[in-house]
Amino acid sequence: MATITLHPTPGAMALGIRDIPAFPGEGFGAGWPESIGDAARAVWFGNITPERRDLGDGAWEQTGKRDGEVSYRITFTATEDTVDVQQSVTNLSDRVWEQSLAFNCFQCGSAPSIQDHECLRHYVGLDGEPRRLIEIPRQFGPRPTVQLYSVEGQPLGRDIPFVAGFAATPDVVLEGWFAIVSRDGKRLVATVSKPTLFLFQNMEYSCIHAAAGFGRLAPGETGEAESRLYFVESSLVDWHARVRDEMVAARQVP
């Protein structure tokens, strides 16, 4: 089966995702990373220009650095229904980062079969079951189209400075994935990280995020995390079983 193709935008953190077997003729975008580093003082994309290297077989490596603060290395690898992202982040500052993150945007607004500015086909996991996002409490903040969610096994959003700053986190704890089901109900896209530190969505752009967490990093330390984007022909229930298996399996890898 053909694999998905990746198309980095030179000089920008944007990545086009095309030739997707489950979504013929449609394209998606990824902003990777939109923000990275210390969860209390993350560096936004405008302050780091990425450098890229073609690794062959459609894979790409991206690196970026802000002297005295952060450096990162990311590799993107596509299969027929996923884009896998390996990320490492190094603390170049003289501060201890109590929490560190890569805030990664999965942009779905340009794919007509998925685009969903009303959140009617957005799904999250609660108490072991997929649930429509509109069933989940919403906390309107000063930027009311965005919403951030705490994730199982991670600190609550209010205890993560990056998240708390948006004042838009309802009192609910979700599984570490976000999905949008297609209009025909037969396909879906999703984002998940291992581990996911928190979730984010912006209905204005129809984008979803599963921010990768790297935990506590002392000066000079490097953290690793993995993210995956799914583009699958599947029911939500079947995919949910798959992602839970893959997340558990990934945790067992040293």
Site string for another protein, 197-226 (x = CB under 8 A): -----x-x----------------------
Residue whose CB is less far from another protein, 95 or 117: 117
Residue 183 binds to another protein (criterion: CB under 8 A):
yes
- Residue 198 and residue 253: Cα distance in Å, rounded? 22
With a CB cutoff of 8 Å and minimum separation 6, the contacts of 48 are 13, 36, 64, 65, 66, 70
DSSP state of 62: E
Q: Measured from the CB atom, is 109 or 155 closer to another protein?
A: 109
Does position 115 interact with another protein (CB under 8 A)? The reply is yes
Choose, by CB under 8 A, the member of 11, 25, 46, 137 that binds another protein.
Answer: 137
Query: Which of 12, 120, 218, 249 touches another protein (CB under 8 A)?
Result: 120
**Which residues does 90 contact at the CB level (< 8 Å), separation at least 6?**
70, 71, 72, 217, 220, 221, 222
41 forms part of the interface with another protein (CB under 8 A) = no
**Distance, CA of 149 to CA of 170 (rounded, Å):** 7
Strand partners, 77: 84
User: Toward another protein, which CB reaches closer, 86 or 202?
Assistant: 202
Q: With binding defined as CB under 8 A, does residue 186 bind another protein?
A: no
What's the number of CA atoms in the CB half-sphere (13 Å) around residue 164? 10
Q: List contacts with another protein (CB under 8 A).
A: 112, 115, 117-118, 120, 132, 134-146, 170, 183-184, 202, 204
